[in-house]
A and B are shown apart, each in its own frame.
Chain A
Amino acid sequence: MDITSDTHSQHISRQFNQELEELKTHLMAMGGLVEKQVQDAVFALLEGDSHLAEKVRDNDRQVNDLQLQIDDECTRVLARRQPAASDLRLVLAVIRATSDLERIGDEASKIARNAMLLSESNGNVRGLVEVRHISEHVRKMLRDALTAFARFDTELAMQVVREDELVDDEYGSAMRSLMTFMMEDSRSISSVLSIMWVLRALERVGDHANNLAEYVVYLVKGLDIRHSDPDKLDQEVLKKS
């Protein structure tokens, strides 16, 4: 049985409705903050803006605080309400999602650190085209995963799951071309390595967005699709609806 985004507002207890609503609102606020962190980190890197990079590193504390706050709210709901069925799935999905969002925050922080290193290096930085390309792709995945969460949209979530494979391919081919840059010019090794770390961080952001999308399917359909073969998933998800 599928649920919709207003499923959690129909309890006899209005207080419970409100508690669940707040969980969703706070998760979305955390998602918005993390999205902005990734965007700023990538912008700082591409534009060589070390001030912005520093700001991203400072803001990571806010992301961590939000994780603690939302986890605490989830613990309280579990202890006081003993939720079942779709309510239980919502709380579990939120707990899992905060952990992934926090990790995305960490990845943004890593990108910012490399942005600061690169802004100090002289000369031409290779690989920015790849960074721009992959960052656009994973930022869209993250945005879609959060939208899918907000709207309980499994179709959009499945799209994110499929996108993740493309990002993995792009990451592989970017790594190969960066390797050639290093072989061609050994003076570029240090800056290319930084770019490689950035790409690695972006690829991880894609993986976490993929996880978020999987939680949406769990939340809406009660189907745990982690560790499943993506090719067979679509049919399974469609079959259950």
Chain B
Amino acid sequence: MLASFSSANAASAPVMRFSAEQCCLSIAQFHLAYAGKAALRDLTLDIPRHRVTAFIGPSGCGKSTLLRAINRLHDLNESVTHSGHIQLEGQDIHDATMNVTELRQRVGMVFQTPNPFPMSIYENVAFGLRLQQRLPKRKRDDIIEWALTSAALWDEVKDRLHRSAWQLSGGQQQRLVIARTLAIQPDVLLLDEPASALDPISTLKIEELIRNLKSQLTLVLVTHNMQQAARVSDYTAFLQHGELVEYGPTDQVFTNPRLQRTENYITGRTT
């Protein structure tokens, strides 16, 4: 992938830039504050299409805030103010013409704790589809099978689609939630610590799933687990105190970071 490093960002941070054709999401000079207290400062970051981009950083650095901002989850919180731009495929997500429901169809989100609805496995996956459009049952069944297969869950649940989703294990529930998101065919999948509540084997299954999904969509992953970021992502962004410190290819960030601050964080040193 053609991309270049630029020092245009504040304080000449080593931040990778992508060309407009490669960009799925483009964040520019984005500020966000909770009740006047800045949580994200002057963030400029390009997220390439069909790649896995990981956000890493200490607690409170703003990585989850940024992820939620991409999905406009702060809309209902009146104490949140923001400025700057987030563009999805060239369109500003805060634009008056952008419908927030449509945005969330295009940008799916998965949270730390699996949150299946209290209904059957089948109905969980069908839920978004039913809201989106009326489909003949055959067609809907096909999409549900495809979504569950894409989420690497089909073989484990195909015989009990009409049982309660709450009977599934934590790892299966998380994959079910991913299947529910995939069913409405988003362009982007935001994952906020998707494996932190799971056992190691379920974690590996989620990671394998992330790798397989990137041929279909763009993934953005927030994680506290640095080895996980190193294992699954193509690009890694390190955030600290609401600022983007370093952003580059994961291979480089984990073998030879450009900045001491990044090095200190990923190698567990005191800063």
- Given contact pairs A1-B259, A11-B267, A11-B270, enumerate 20 new A-B contacts (beta carbons under 8 Å): A1-B257, A1-B263, A3-B263, A10-B264, A11-B268, A11-B269, A12-B268, A12-B270, A84-B226, A84-B230, A84-B266, A85-B257, A85-B263, A85-B266, A86-B263, A86-B267, A87-B267, A88-B254, A88-B255, A222-B256
The 8 A CB mask of B235-271 against A (1 = contact, 0 = none) is: 0000000000000000000111111101110111110
Q: Give 8 closest A-B pairs by Cβ, nearest first.
A: A222-B256, A10-B269, A84-B254, A84-B266, A85-B263, A87-B267, A85-B267, A12-B268
**Shortest beta-carbon distance from B253 to chain A in Å:** 8
Given contacts A11-B269, A86-B263, contact A1 B258 (CB under 8 A): yes
Chain B contacts for A222, CB-based, 8 A: 255-256
The 8 A CB mask of A1-29 against B (1 = contact, 0 = none) is: 10100000011110010000000000000
Confirm or deny: A32 has a beta carbon within 8 angstroms of a beta carbon on chain B: no
Asked whether B269 lies within 8 Å of A84 as measured between CB atoms, the reply is no
Confirm or deny: B227 has a beta carbon within 8 angstroms of a beta carbon on chain A: yes
Confirm or deny: A83 has a beta carbon within 8 angstroms of a beta carbon on chain B: yes
What are 25 A-to-B residue pairs whose CB atoms are below 8 Å? A1-B256, A1-B257, A1-B259, A1-B260, A3-B263, A10-B269, A11-B267, A11-B268, A11-B269, A12-B268, A12-B269, A84-B226, A84-B230, A84-B254, A85-B257, A85-B262, A85-B263, A85-B266, A85-B267, A86-B267, A88-B254, A88-B255, A89-B256, A222-B255, A222-B256
Chain B contacts for A87, CB-based, 8 A: 267
Total A-B pairs, Cβ < 8 A: 44
Chain A contacts for B269, CB-based, 8 A: 10-12
Q: Nearest chain-A residue to B256 (Cβ)?
A: A222
Where the two chains meet, the residues of A that have a C-beta atom closer than 8 Å to any C-beta of B are 1, 3, 10-13, 16, 82-89, 222
**Shortest beta-carbon distance from A96 to chain B in Å:** 15
Asked whether B255 lies within 8 Å of A85 as measured between CB atoms, the reply is yes
Asked whether B268 lies within 8 Å of A16 as measured between CB atoms, the reply is yes
Chain B contacts for A3, CB-based, 8 A: 263
Chain A contacts for B256, CB-based, 8 A: 1, 85, 89, 222
Chain B contacts for A84, CB-based, 8 A: 226, 230, 254-255, 266-267
CA distance A222 to B227 in the complex (A): 20
Chain B contacts for A88, CB-based, 8 A: 254-255
Chain A contacts for B263, CB-based, 8 A: 1, 3, 85-86
**Shortest beta-carbon distance from A226 to chain B in Å:** 15
Interface centre among A1, A16, A83, A85 (most CB of B within 10 A): A85
Chain A contacts for B268, CB-based, 8 A: 11-13, 16
Q: Nearest chain-A residue to B230 (Cβ)?
A: A84
Chain A contacts for B226, CB-based, 8 A: 84
CA distance A224 to B226 in the complex (A): 24
CA distance A89 to B230 in the complex (A): 16
Asked whether A83 lies within 8 Å of B267 as measured between CB atoms, the reply is yes
CA distance A11 to B265 in the complex (A): 10
Chain B contacts for A85, CB-based, 8 A: 254-257, 262-263, 266-267
**Shortest beta-carbon distance from B123 to chain A in Å:** 41
Chain A contacts for B262, CB-based, 8 A: 85
**Shortest beta-carbon distance from B158 to chain A in Å:** 36
Chain B contacts for A13, CB-based, 8 A: 268
